[in-house]
Amino acid sequence: MASLMEMKEIFRSADAVCFDVDSTVIREEGIDELAKFCGVGDAVAEMTRRAMGGTVTFKAALTARLGLIRPSYEQVQKLISDNPPQLTPGIRELVSRLHQRGVQVFLVSGGFQSIVEHVALQLNIPTANVFANRLKFYFNGEYAGFDETQPTAESGGKGKVIAHLKQQFQFKKVVMIGDGATDMEACPPGDCFIGFGGNVIRKQVKEKAKWYITHFDELLKELEER
């Protein structure tokens, strides 16, 4: 088990850094914002709370919540244009600094591809580096489900993405940063997990993460150490 000092060294010398998106890179939870926008916010928030308790699988919780929201293609696009995701303070600078150092940055999210790609664009992250869930629509734009083959649609999916990245790019050190249990569970195969509590503090993550931060400036300072 790596010590905090060893973890900081892994972060400083990482080949790739993977960020969770909802409540980490952005301030809100995408699915809750979409639910509010579609008029079923309270019911979906209650489902989210139950899902966080770990009594249902991620896929079952996602299926149930989306079944309630049933967002159309038009609603998703309007949400992005009317209420664009709010970047967490410090993330733009941190991603820019990682890019300057030649570190590959990935967004690995249980949220939705269309929203996450919008975030990636703001951070100069290529869309090929986005791993998220894909909503499906009928020709008339009505909701048709989601792509259940995406690794992020499953519990343990973020770890599968990191394993895939290591195999594909031969990365030696991959760091995962996020606010939730699904992010913490991605290490291993990730080499280091950094818990983030700048938007929401999840008790289980704060208690178990060896390295826990509340502002991205803390990671920027680490990069300046070297």
> What is the distance between the alpha carbons of residues 110 and 22, in angstroms, rounded to a whole number?
8
Alpha-carbon gap, residue 100 to 113, rounded angstroms: 26
What string of DSSP letters covers 98-161? HHHTT-EEEEEEEEEHHHHHHHHHHTT--GGGEEEE-EEE-TTS-EEEE-TTSGGGSTTHHHHH
Q: Is 22 part of the annotated catalytic residue set?
A: yes
DSSP 195: E
In the residue annotation, 20 being an active-site residue is answered as: yes
Q: How far apart are CA 137 and CA 141, in angstroms?
A: 5
Residue from 15, 20, 42, 217 carrying the catalytic annotation? 20
140, two tokens: 């008339």
Positions marked catalytic:
20, 22
